[in-house]
Structure 1
Amino acid sequence: MSHIIQNNAFLQGPLQRVIEIYEQQVVPRLTTKNKTIGITTAVVMTLVYLIRDRVFKPPRNLRHIPYQGYYDFIKSIYTKETYWDRAHRWTLPFIDSKSSNGLYMRPGRFGYEVHVVNPEAAKKVFLKQDLFPKLDVLKGKERTLNAKFANGPNLVFLNGPHWKTQRMVANPAFHRAQPIQLFGKLTQDLFERMDRLGETADVHDLMERFTLEAIGRAGFGFEFNAIKEDNSPWVHTYNTVNAALQNPWYFLFPSLDQSLLWLSPKRQAAHRELDRFMDMLSEVIKKKRRDIASGVENKHLPDNEKDVLTLLIENEDKGEGALSDEELRSNLHILFLAGHDTTSNALSFALLYLAKYPKIQERAREEILGIMGDEPSEIVPGFDDLKQMDYLNQIIKETLRVNGPVVQVVPRVALEDTELAGTFIPKGSNVIVDVFNIQHSKKVWENPDEFDPDRFDPKSAPKQLSGGAMSWVPFGSGARQCIGMNFSLNEQRVLLSMMLRKYTWSLPEDSVHYGKIETRGLGIISPAKCHLQFKKRYQ
């Protein structure tokens, strides 16, 4: 089964033409009345290319595990069903049933994949990395946009001794690089931008600009001018690449990004933008080596702080290990994705929830004013201040539980026959810890869809039903836990605390979020149409 999906034997040139004709010619002409017919027709056209027993169904040695079929999965993609809606329509009703042990399968980029929504089984996957190493997701996909962006050996995709060597080199750098004052200065710059925008602002755009500038300056001492300039060329370049990376069709069907790339000029342009982005990072690394050699320091950080790239390069001179330029560039790409895109979405969701629930917002503000004071000035919190922000931390944790940007971890592969939750998992099976559904299962959490920061208050009655530490895994767990977790959490604490002192904010009357929070995205989710109204508490 796996080799069929990986080689995309079923994906021929005509399928790509069908997809493009359907999206460009059929969809615009569909009326509300006949949309259902049009969608069904599109799904059927796709399934014509999937008609074979080995594609429709999982491998025979996995058919004892319940699965979501290809028809339902492809229909979900065509209709642009959100991850939230798909989970609540199909996955969670099954997972929360009495008969389920928290395992299910669905089609993915590498064939049928075993999804783990059982915290105890997830613990085994996370902690037994020798049994469940990460799948080589780039093999055979080298010329796709996703593979080019990952760009070789890095902490996310490596396994074994090579990964351990990189982690040993990178750990000290990421633990030392906590530029609190820089986060505060960039928040002040963000306030100046907000002053120019008026009362209503696109929060997602603001957070993308803020986190892009933060990772540029704190990561490797580079100014994107993302906050101050409306049309920063690097903002345009990165956003173009990032949007292209989220396209589900190219992610699920790599042939569209390889042998069939000539069919899409827009996709070719995205590849050129990525080439430009990669060249820029190569120049940044070269310049950083020259600056270190000549004693030039990162002007954006205090004398006792250094950016991540500087710390990684300096490890070479200290005998703590060395990374090649290819490894440095590859890890900087991942740092961009982990330190920019996911954090910007987490902040957008947090601001959105605080707008949706004004009592929670006011309680958080009272805590921050008690810690930082209520003087009409833009005070940057210090490390000691951040440690006291108990309720704000609960809000951040609850945001990452209800709508964490990362819905699942990188696929693992079982190196030998084993079992999860009492179910036989044959050697070679692709296994994924399903973060979103663990954090929304009624077997794990009380009222899981409710936004309730008090569920993380250690003094209150527990609202977690099972799973222990493995019930909250937005950063993964075990030795492969996200290395930038503390960087991201501190960035969120600084910005949110300063926002609470400076503004009150609410949902506009035409907001789509008065019911449930509306989301978008496939592998990384973000809020849709994230506009909020802000009022200053002081000038």
Structure 2
Amino acid sequence: ILLALIFIIYKLWNLLHVPQNIAHIPAVPLYKTFIATLSKMTFEEKRSYLYKDLLNEHGIARYFFRSKWTILIGDAHLANEIYLNADKFPKLLSTQMFPESLAAKFIGDNVVFSNDKLWKKYRASVNSAFKIQFDTRLFIEGVSELIQVIDNNAGSEIDMSHYFRRLTMEVLGLGLMNIKFNSILTPNPEFNYHYNNIMKCLNIPITLIFQSLDTPSNPMMRSAYDSEPKDILSLMLLSMDKDEKLTDKEIRDNIMMFVLAGHDTTALALTVAIYFLCKHPNFQDKARREALAIFGKPGNDKKLPFIDSIIKESLRMYPPVAFLPARLTKSEFIANDIQIPASSLILVETFHIQNSSKYWQNPSEFNPYRFYESSNSTKIAYPATSWSPFGGGERMCSGLGFSMMEQRITLALLLLNYKFELN
């Protein structure tokens, strides 16, 4: 028993011990971390309790996060330095983040969790695929089905967050793989059922869910070659055949990453936008008038500046990803006169930067006019580096345009058909 106790104490000390080379960095006390972990505080309450003041004062903070001492970055200019110098601040790989875990196997190697030559290989293929002009009918079809569901439930409450998750899965299926998942109209769609179980426990092998992605000889995969490419998977497959750049597993891992990155994040962004439109009926009315005036005219599907401003302001206040993927410092660097040693784990705290009074006037106020510019008004000035829900630099999310178009068309069509109110 004594030996077991000594072993446990040793392991705890080894886990919690602060390395000497980062001991000088302003830190969140461990006791606060434990209290916040065990408490029922909301995310905003936790960050306020733990490190908001430290980030306001120093721009960085040392924080025990996911069993590792991590350096949080809450300064927009430091974040921009990290974005623009990907070679000096490489991504933490999934195998480093979750060593020997099912999560690492599930995520695999992809354009998000890779570096150097491997990342450049993925990025070249992904960029060529995302350069296509997505047909707006891809998004309209899904929203039209959502409208059917809402109409069928007329007079009753609708959980929009639930149906936004179904909508984004349907759009991803069509946009990424040209597969219709029937996620919206089907009461219990099979794909969504399996996907949700994976998210809960990560114990279902990916090949059970994505059997059709195992080999290009599969009829579904081969059909990508029989017509003009319309989806990301087809274009990546064609790239693979021409240059033999990506293996089947690499294709699958990247598609899985797109699903993970584009499903809950876009659904959450839409939910937040609808919530704020309910809270601010004047903005909802203005957005509806814009949709009525513009949406549906040839070539005008992208010209919804006020709706775009609503989306951007929603993403500012509640970025779907509060922490961007972790990075490592390749060499020592100075952050606001504080020395950060090489091999330090760093996280850009997007939520803090985008809600900081250092960069934003009245940051807790929902104000789409921060991003809106028309003949009658001027956009409110803000530092470009302080808005980065999709990251920045060459590692910026490839799906930015896809997500923004999906949100824009979804909100416009819903506003054309309904007035939204909170229960």
Please tell me the residue identity of whatever aligns with 2:42: T
SS of 1:107's equivalent in the other structure is strand
Code of the aligned partner of 1:271: N
Q: Deviations over 1:20-75 (max 9, x none)?
A: xxxxxxxxxxxxxxxxxxxxxxxxxxxx89753x5445311112211113332233
- The number of residue pairs the alignment matches comes to 415
Superposed, 1:130-279 pairs within 5 Å as 130-139=87-96, 141=98, 143-151=100-108, 153-176=109-132, 178-198=134-154, 199-242=156-199, 244=200, 267=201, 270-272=202-204, 274=206, 276-279=208-211
Aligned to 2:31: 71
- Aligned partner of 1:121 in structure 2 is 78
CA distance in 2, matches of 1:337, 1:463: 33
> Residues 65 and 362 from structure 1, CA distance in 2 versus in 1: closer, same or farther, beyond 3 angstroms?
same
CA distance in 1, matches of 2:322, 2:386: 13
Correspondence list, 1:278-297, <5 A: 278-282=210-214, 286-293=218-225, 295=226, 297=227
Q: Render the CA deviation track for 1:496-523: whole Å, top value 9, x for unaligned.
A: 0001101001000xxxxxxxxxxxxxxx
Corresponding residue of 2:300: 385
Change beyond 3 A, Cα 1:285–1:211: farther
Residue of structure 2 in register with 1:439 after alignment: 354
AA partner of residue 128 (structure 2): P
Instruction: Give the counterpart of 1:366 among 256, 279, 289.
Output: 289
Post-superposition offset of 1:448:
1.0
Is there any run of 5+ residues in structure 2 with no aligned partner, and where?
none
Aligned to 1:60, which of 20, 31, 53? 20
8 Å CA contact 2:92–2:326 kept in 1: the answer is yes
What SS does structure 2 have at the residue aligned with 1:104? strand
Q: Is the 8 A contact 1:285 1:329 kept in 2?
A: no
SS of 2:58 mapped into structure 1: coil
8 Å contact from structure 1 (residues 418, 426) kept in 2: yes
CA distance in 2, matches of 1:433, 1:285: 42
Would the aligned equivalents of 1:313 and 1:322 in 2 still touch at CA under 8 Å?
no
CA contact (8 A) 1:446 1:463 kept: no
What is the match of residue 339 of structure 2?
Answer: 424
Counterpart CA distance in 1 for 2:30 and 2:214 is 41
Structure 1 residues 140 and 127 mapped into 2: Cα distance closer, same or farther (>3 Å)? closer
Kept in 1: contact 2:54–2:60 (CA 8 A): no
CA distance in structure 2 between the partners assigned to 1:114 and 1:55 by the alignment: 16
TM-score (norm 1): 0.72
Could you tell me how far apart the structure 2 residues matched to 1:281 and 1:353 are? 39
Q: Sort the Cα spacing of 1:491 and 1:419 in 2 relative to 1 into closer, same or farther, 3 A.
A: same
Describe the superposition over 1:459-510 as per-residue Cα deviations: whole angstroms up to 9, x where unpaired: 436353xxx22100000000000001100000001110001101001000xx
Shift of 1:101: 2.6
CA RMSD in angstroms, aligned pairs only: 2.4
1:131 to 1:188, Cα distance in 2 relative to 1, 3 A: same
CA distance in structure 2 between the aligned counterparts of 1:316 and 1:95, rounded to whole angstroms: 45
Q: 1:456 aligns with which of 371, 374, 379?
A: 371
**TM-score after normalising by structure 2:** 0.91
Contact 2:212 2:221 in 1 (8 A): no
CA distance in 2 between counterparts of 1:354 and 1:284 reads: 45
Residues 67, 105 of structure 1: 8 Å contact kept: yes
State the match for 1:476 in structure 2.
Answer: 391
Mapping of residues 306-321 of structure 1, within 5 Å: 306-319=230-243
Q: Which moved more, 1:170-179 or 1:114-123?
A: 170-179
Q: Which amino acid aligns with 1:457?
A: Y
CA contact (8 A) 1:285 1:325 kept: no
Cα 1:286/1:156, change in 2 over 3 Å? farther
Amino acid aligned to 2:189? S
1:387 is paired with a residue whose SS is coil
Report matched runs for 1:16-31 at 5 Å.
Answer: none
Q: Rate the CA distance shift 1:421–1:386 in 2: closer, same or farther, 3 A.
A: farther
CA 1:104–1:140: 2 relative to 1, 3 Å: closer
Question: For 1:386-444, what per-residue CA distance to the aligned partner results, in whole angstroms no more than 9, with x for missing partners?
Answer: 33211111100000000111101111111111212222110110111111111111111
Provide the rounded CA distance (Å) in 1 between the counterparts of 2:113 and 2:379.
39
Within 1, Cα distance between the matches of 2:18 and 2:74?
A: 19
Distance 1:442 1:486, change over 3 A: same
Deviation, 1:79, is 2.1
Q: Give the partner amino acid of 1:435.
A: T
Of residues 319, 323, 326, the one that matches 2:249 is 326
Label 1:285 to 1:63 Cα distance change in 2 as closer, same or farther (>3 A). Answer: farther
Deviation of 1:201 after TM superposition, in Å, equals 0.4
Identical-pair percentage = 30
**Out of 329, 345, 354, which is 2:268 matched to?**
345
- Find the residue that maps to 2:28 and give its secondary structure: coil
Specify the SS of the correspondent of 1:164.
Answer: helix
Higher mean C-alpha displacement, 307-316 vs 141-150: 141-150
Tell me the residue number matched to 2:54.
Answer: 94
Amino acid across the alignment from 1:311: L
CA distance in 1, matches of 2:182, 2:216: 15
Q: Distance in 2 between matches of 1:177 and 1:324?
A: 25
Q: Secondary structure of the equivalent of 2:357? A: coil
